[in-house]
Structure 1
């Protein structure tokens, strides 16, 4: 503890005793010293800091007198819990030069925290009606099977396989499972050298943008669209072409020809969930070939199609390797697992692998092995069937409840996904509706953050992946009753 927290500088005008006293006091007030653990003995701390024992003893006695410490017989000095309640008799005098005085806003080259992004309460399971998108239902998680795969990934042979330094390589077993089991479900036939494992789809998107974008290069994406992709692209270029969305997904305006890279979510457009038909997909691929641009296909929710067979991935129609395919296990297994993958031309994957190495080398190989076992044993396939049944049922319950309680709301004609994109009445303030709903233990997501040209406050999103069947109808009824209170009169 002493080596980490305290550093005394003889060159400063303050005495070593005073420096130590102030550093200990500051550590106490900042919560860095545990209440139940004794401070180092004066002899040990003096030896660690290379100072006289009397220096430490005097500092301790001052802190004891000031109420920062309490002494316990035969146990030593402990933090006084009362001091954390604001009962200090004397304020701590900080050094004349403080870190907070540094011009951090000028030193930083970017400010990602200023970007508008999706936020969700950490305590969402405590709400009665969590209509949140992207969360999983704990009741659907295959706990026993995941424990089995996690346990087997810790066997001696498995540990010898994943514990060594893999440099920038992935678990070959996981690559094999992605190659032979996941991608063929989407009609994608790729070679192992065309696959890279990533820390979720988010890292795949970041790597692709970092490799492909720079100032002067135009990036095209859907509007409304996925806000994290917009924020990522803005990190590398200010030239972003916003492409409108209709009932068939992203519209292929003539301006798309000026792009170097285009982002699309054909299977279920984010956030509207509409599906791009085959004819438009082929048209997009033809335009990419004619005008020489690349496409990122984010196939984030491909398996949830309830009234028809899933449409093949855009990548499966790609004859010229212009599509960079991004997949993830966040929507099926668990978002907290943070495991995704990207598929592209070997040259792109080679550079993406080298770039990933500079960031984190590779995702943890023990997690990769557990996922590989989960896929190999068919547990993921079984989970998909179970989730498909549960989500289909909830999708029908949501559709019926919305038709009954919000008949005037505009809903896209969709037949898949795990959420509903809703346009409320004119004058609706989705932020006000969200606040009113939270007071009634209802969680919704505002849609205005997904529009990048001008705010559209009448849109909101209702997810159903994490809410129980028997709460859907009542939750929609309660939410519908709040809409008039969040809508201004014309």
Structure 2
């Protein structure tokens, strides 16, 4: 243990060592069972005599805060912490304050344990992840011959950038070279980089309403003026876009959270609007790998002829959020600045994981994994759709959706009241659901549930819905 003790006074060195160690024990920074350095070693580090350190240790032992175990050394002994701990030393006076916007944003959600019947949104099934194959790929990347001591290209591992460009070209029809791809810590960092490069405080950003709260909070944190734009049966209502918007954030392939697919006419209208207004379109294709029916529409990026679409995606849904790997496909006019923004933010994402993912894609393992998980999620999608129709036909209207990891259903009557009451009762019954209203920036115009099926098996879906239905009858 590298133990620092402040010796600012020339006198009473033993007392200073004693008080410094005692304070660290009582505030919990030195914990029960931790070994302190031998007296000779600590004396050498502090530039004082060994006898001085020994005296301090003896005083701590006399208080019962330190115990000697012979040749094994001296160890901290269990003791209650002082109330307030390290924070109790804070001195009164003027304290640093964050910018006002940070006080206005919602606090980060507290991680909630998985419920027995978990219909929360955004979670893939971790049991489907190919842990053995991934472990072998990571082991190869961590060989000494494969690890460079130098910092790497902020844009990402060259092999992964090439693999992502090929993968997107085959699976989504996105025409991109490796030089167009920038590897990020998930889609959220991709949005952050776009905002840093393109947005000045006060610039307008149009977002779908309802929409994705983390993206909204990010743009607001950068000082942008976020403007909600309604979504109807064809997707984002382009006619309602504000004239001064600098950027538009959309999820056209599977609108989040409603699940609507943006129509071809709306896609063309949005691209025309962006060209006329000299704006950019941020296309978040967050779960496009999981499509269970219908004809897939071309991406906005594929339709774009003026270089105004920035295509964002991640591997959080198809693999695991814990990997924190995503990508951004950008036009040449922005690539230098985005690469620079990545460099000044965190230099680059973790290289071994990038190398492993490149190999995972190139060997066809990702395509096989997608086919496997798509079959599993399609079963859950079907079971959940049928169950909602069977149990809630008189209460909920299921919105059409043929892709992704969630469904959305709106209450046909008593919306606001039922949404609040039943959501609370559902959690008490071990059923995790999310209210549709939480995805609105303004006053909700629809009420219902957003139901994910990444975290609940096929076998548990029926029982989860049965429990929800029983809570509905309790309110009558």
- With the length of structure 1 as denominator, give the TM-score of the two structures: 0.88
- The answer on 1:219 being equivalent to 2:205 is yes
- The answer on 1:99 being equivalent to 2:96 is no
- Structure-1 residue corresponding to 2:253: 267
- Write the distance in 1 (CA, Å) between the matches of 2:373 and 2:60: 59
Alpha carbons 1:223, 1:451 under 8 Å: kept: yes
Please say which of residues 129-138 and 162-171 is displaced more in the overlay: 162-171
Question: Where do 5+ consecutive residues of structure 2 fail to align?
Answer: none
Give, in angstroms, the shift of residue 112 of structure 1.
4.1
Alpha carbons 2:282, 2:312 under 8 Å: kept: yes
Deviation string, structure 1 residues 185-204 (Cα, Å, up to 9, x no partner): 21111122221111111110
Give, in angstroms, the shift of residue 28 of structure 1.
2.0
- Write the distance in 1 (CA, Å) between the matches of 2:454 and 2:406: 8
Distance 1:52 1:114, change over 3 A: farther
Please say which of residues 459-468 and 264-273 is displaced more in the overlay: 459-468
* Residue of 458, 461, 467 corresponding to 1:478: 467
Distance 1:455 1:380, change over 3 A: same
* Residue of 241, 244, 248 corresponding to 2:227: 241
- Structure-2 residue corresponding to 1:7: 6
* Residue of 220, 225, 244 corresponding to 1:258: 244
Give, in angstroms, the shift of residue 432 of structure 1.
5.3
Alpha carbons 2:258, 2:407 under 8 Å: kept: yes
Q: Give secondary structure in 1 for the equivalent of 2:248.
A: strand
- Write the distance in 1 (CA, Å) between the matches of 2:94 and 2:12: 29
Distance 1:54 1:431, change over 3 A: farther
- Structure-2 residue corresponding to 1:132: 120
Distance 1:435 1:16, change over 3 A: farther
Distance 1:95 1:33, change over 3 A: closer
- Structure-2 residue corresponding to 1:412: 399
Distance 1:350 1:388, change over 3 A: same
After the TM superposition, which residues 13-92 of structure 1 pair with which residues of structure 2 at under 5 Å, given as runs?
15-81=12-78, 83-84=79-80
Count of residue pairs brought into register by the alignment: 473
Alpha carbons 2:121, 2:453 under 8 Å: kept: yes
Give, in angstroms, the shift of residue 169 of structure 1.
4.4
Q: Give secondary structure in 2 for the equivalent of 1:216.
A: coil
Q: Give secondary structure in 2 for the equivalent of 1:256.
A: coil
- Structure-1 residue corresponding to 2:151: 165
Please say which of residues 65-74 and 330-339 is displaced more in the overlay: 65-74
Alpha carbons 1:204, 1:340 under 8 Å: kept: yes
Q: Give secondary structure in 1 for the equivalent of 2:206.
A: strand
Distance 1:92 1:15, change over 3 A: farther
- With the length of structure 2 as denominator, give the TM-score of the two structures: 0.91
After the TM superposition, which residues 19-418 of structure 1 pair with which residues of structure 2 at under 5 Å, given as runs?
19-81=16-78, 83-84=79-80, 98-99=89-90, 101=92, 103-106=94-97, 108-109=98-99, 112=102, 115-116=105-106, 119=109, 121=111, 123-124=113-114, 127-155=115-143, 159=146, 164-407=150-393, 408-418=395-405
Give, in angstroms, the shift of residue 379 of structure 1.
0.7
Alpha carbons 2:129, 2:319 under 8 Å: kept: yes
Question: Where do 5+ consecutive residues of structure 1 fail to align?
Answer: none
Distance 1:229 1:256, change over 3 A: same
- Write the distance in 2 (CA, Å) between the matches of 1:475 and 1:463: 12
Distance 1:216 1:137, change over 3 A: closer
Distance 1:140 1:18, change over 3 A: same
- Write the distance in 1 (CA, Å) between the matches of 2:40 and 2:65: 20
- Structure-1 residue corresponding to 2:456: 467
Q: Give secondary structure in 2 for the equivalent of 1:196.
A: strand
- Structure-1 residue corresponding to 2:430: 441
Give, in angstroms, the shift of residue 75 of structure 1.
3.7
Please say which of residues 27-36 and 314-323 is displaced more in the overlay: 27-36
Give, in angstroms, the shift of residue 308 of structure 1.
1.1
Distance 1:232 1:131, change over 3 A: same
Give, in angstroms, the shift of residue 462 of structure 1.
1.4
Q: Give secondary structure in 1 for the equivalent of 2:281.
A: strand
Give, in angstroms, the shift of residue 58 of structure 1.
3.3
Give, in angstroms, the shift of residue 374 of structure 1.
0.3
Alpha carbons 2:396, 2:448 under 8 Å: kept: no
